[in-house]
Structure 1
């Protein structure tokens, strides 16, 4: 939900062992991983789960700064988990949202990539029906210890759906998203909310 969102890491792109059953796993924020981290190779093997709190991203704008065009860094008031499920490395920092997962399969005939996409409403809305365009929300990406390009490029919710990245067969990818509110509109006081859904799918 968006509310007005000296050691090196192993990598943000990692090749994983192919095994059945074919699976995709996506974690946004907290997520669940039993017997982790995922790079563990002894029994019991790690098992991704379903669940975890939905991360909340919030921007608070002072009354005398509304619409002045100065971007506002968004925070994560429910403090989602910031360690990697790959190796438990402290990959993200407070205020960021961890996004990571894998596509695993033993048979190339099932397809070589999975696609990560988002869907979002066109507007954030308050309780009286006033709105803010979702395009006012943008993001950058990073990861502690990373020096190269991130799996998810910087962008914004400029449309109601769009691609974020792809994950190759038997690959783990992860990044940390930092959100900002552009603060370009004069809007009435209130709490404006919207829900964005991330989907990792392999046809």
Structure 2
């Protein structure tokens, strides 16, 4: 996902589905995607801060270019009803009943220390955070909300033969005064099971 330069009230809900045991496999979905094919789409999350609001400390809601509103696993339920302001994140870990791998997989997100503009100016990635939700779900949150830290954050542990997902809504803290420009940076979501 590419972030450019959230504050919705956090709803701590997610979807968690049991999936059939089978040969070992991980499945990760962030933003637009397809269920059973490799997808190289990189969705953008961005905000334009009005001049009068710069460095005011008033958090700025971010928008996305995602169009993915429905789950890619299971029944096609609308998990993210407003994809223009949400990114759908889903992860599945499958293994055989004989236990052909670890009992769980780990979902992480990694960010650089800073976003940069064309002039080389920087803006701390820690200015960007996210809340999580899955409207209508009664399942407790299984993918964490947080703030990028210029390193790797663990978002969830995915038990064997389970699929989890929720929506991430991003915001820019707007508590620093950056040099003028468009700042870019890329975060990487990873699902791994050694």
Q: Same fold (TM over 0.5)?
A: yes
Question: Equivalent of 1:90, from 75, 78, 101?
Answer: 78
DSSP-derived class of the 1:167 partner: strand
Structure 1 stretches of at least 4 aligned residues deviating more than 6 Å after TM superposition: none
Map 1:54-69 to 2 at 5 A: 54-69=42-57
Alpha-carbon separation, structure 1, partners of 2:56 and 2:109: 29
1:109 deviates by 4.5
Map 1:1-203 to 2 at 5 A: 1-4=2-5, 12-20=15-23, 22-33=24-35, 48-76=36-64, 78-86=65-73, 87-94=75-82, 95-106=85-96, 107-203=98-194
Calculate the aligned-residue CA RMSD, in Å: 1.4
Higher relative contact order (CA 8 A, sep 6+): 2
DSSP-derived class of the 1:139 partner: strand
Alpha-carbon separation, structure 1, partners of 2:22 and 2:100: 14
Instruction: Name structure 1 gaps, 5 residues minimum.
Output: 6-10, 34-47
TM-score in terms of structure 2 length: 0.89
Alpha-carbon separation, structure 2, partners of 1:18 and 1:91: 24
Alpha-carbon separation, structure 2, partners of 1:55 and 1:136: 19
TM-score in terms of structure 1 length: 0.85
DSSP-derived class of the 2:63 partner: coil
Alpha-carbon separation, structure 1, partners of 2:139 and 2:17: 14
CA shift digits 1:35-74 (9 cap, x unpaired): xxxxxxxxxxxxx111052110001101111100000000
Tell me, yes or no, if the aligned pair for 2:91 and 2:107 is still in contact at 8 Å: no
The range that moved more, 140-149 or 174-183, is: 140-149
CA shift digits 1:157-200 (9 cap, x unpaired): 12411211011100010110000000001112210000000000
Alpha-carbon separation, structure 2, partners of 1:100 and 1:202: 15
Tell me, yes or no, if the aligned pair for 1:71 and 1:180 is still in contact at 8 Å: yes
From the CA coordinates, give the structure whose radius of gyration is larger: 1
